[in-house]
Structure 1
């Protein structure tokens, strides 16, 4: 699968790109079937009236791994980022058709690690569902990227992301300081079977659903950064588990 150079430029400058047609309808249906058949009693599963989420998704629903990392996705990642990246986080989000769930503008500033320990440049420690998260040095965040796999058509009516173009180039950018006179907000429509690739420092938000249609997304974060000393990525999937980029 050969990519237009526009995609690489968009990731560097606006900070995101959308590539449709990565998954066939059959592949999407197979992924959804495995998710629906999964045991949702684990504490990594979260279900409310507005949201169903699975943290550590690729570990909790391992049968989806080869479906998610099909030949097209592997080719996209290799062409845009090379071969030295690995998975460091995966989450499944299901926003129901009746959801009023709204997420304001934010950057993805934390990574998941295996322990809490004092390291220079690592701050704002939190724990969620027995998993440690920490804000790493900004160089790590600047180098990471996220792939969002869309299992439904997504637009302004069912919570498609809105982003502030080029905000990932401005370091830590607090939402309350957004200069709306000079910033450009863009809606990211993605077709079912398409992907959105974005930098974690890109300011983004998700709106409410008003058309009673689902918005199901698999969110996967990648890094090529090694952590200091004996600190480990909590969800790292490397060569021993079938690295998609190896």
Structure 2
């Protein structure tokens, strides 16, 4: 088993790191049961033939936080990132077994905030379902990290992330500028009960499902940076 320092180096150099066996089957089942029983008429729930998603997931399911932030996950966060990071965004994604949902290569360039303010080096802005998002200074994105919790076995056949290793080190990297003669695509297969750590600036995509199996993921973003001039993270936890 790799050490925390080895995973930290892997994340720093490659932009991602996979860690298995963070949850038990019982913990995963409790999470899925809570989602199944939820009221899906809420504004934060979005459902279509290709996608079921829940925005502000941790706010919608506060009772799941002790399960999600179990001893193993807390140890990873504290040893790799330190104790000053906090949750700033959480989403649940369910790519159904018959989904044709394809996500093209992109970086996660925006953060979710509580209001729109005219601030230097913040922009452009977008608003979706009363949720404000803005592209912040790149230093914030470079410092943030994401944890994706896998509730299903995930590989290239049911929408595992495809990433460009090391692309997070190149600043804002437009997909149309990818030089495929130089760049390497990696498929990030993750076992059920495992996680993937990733940097927001890592170029990543997701292919269509071809094996009729679900891909359910909880996506949680973290920062240790306070925002300026009365602007707040929408989900600071």
Q: TM-score, normalised by structure 1?
A: 0.95
The answer for the alignment partner of 1:144 in structure 2 is 144
Matched, 1:55 2:55: yes
Cα distance in 2 for partners of 1:74, 1:2 equals 17
How far residue 5 of structure 1 moved from its aligned partner, in angstroms, is 2.6
How far residue 129 of structure 1 moved from its aligned partner, in angstroms, is 1.0
How far residue 64 of structure 1 moved from its aligned partner, in angstroms, is 1.3
The answer for the alignment partner of 1:38 in structure 2 is 38
| Superimposed CA distance per residue, residues 141-177 of structure 1 (whole angstroms, 9 cap, x where no aligned partner) | 0000000000000000000000000000000000000
The answer for the alignment partner of 2:104 in structure 1 is 104
The answer for the alignment partner of 2:160 in structure 1 is 160
Cα distance in 1 for partners of 2:5, 2:71 equals 19
**What runs of 5+ residues in structure 1 fail to find an aligned partner?**
238-246
The answer for the alignment partner of 1:199 in structure 2 is 199
How far residue 2 of structure 1 moved from its aligned partner, in angstroms, is 8.5
Cα distance in 1 for partners of 2:198, 2:131 equals 24
Contact conserved, 2:4 with 2:80, CA < 8 A, in 1?
A: no
The answer for the alignment partner of 2:93 in structure 1 is 93
* Equivalenced residues, count: 237
How far residue 3 of structure 1 moved from its aligned partner, in angstroms, is 3.0
| Superposition pairs of residues 4-83 of structure 1, within 5 angstroms | 4-83=4-83
CA-based RMSD: 1.1
Contact conserved, 2:28 with 2:193, CA < 8 A, in 1?
A: yes
Contact conserved, 1:3 with 1:79, CA < 8 A, in 2?
A: no
Q: TM-score, normalised by structure 2?
A: 0.98
How far residue 36 of structure 1 moved from its aligned partner, in angstroms, is 0.7
